[in-house]
Amino acid sequence: MTNPVKDFFACIGEGDAKSALEFVDENATFEAQGPNTVPIYGVFEGREGAQRFLEIISELFDTEDFQFKKWAEADDYVFAHGYMQHRVKKTDRVFQCEWALVCRVKNGFITSYKMFEDTAALQTAYA
- Please say whether the beta carbons of 89 and 59 come within 8 A: yes
Nearest to 22 by CA among 98, 88, 103, 108: 108
CATH classification at residue 54: 3.10.450.50
Q: The whole model's pTM is what?
A: 0.93
Residue ranges making up the domain that contains 98: 4-126
As a residue count, the chain comes to 127
pLDDT in tens, 79-103: 999 999 999 999 999 999 999 999 9
How many folded domains does the chain comprise?
1
pLDDT in tens, 26-52: 999 999 999 999 999 999 999 999 999
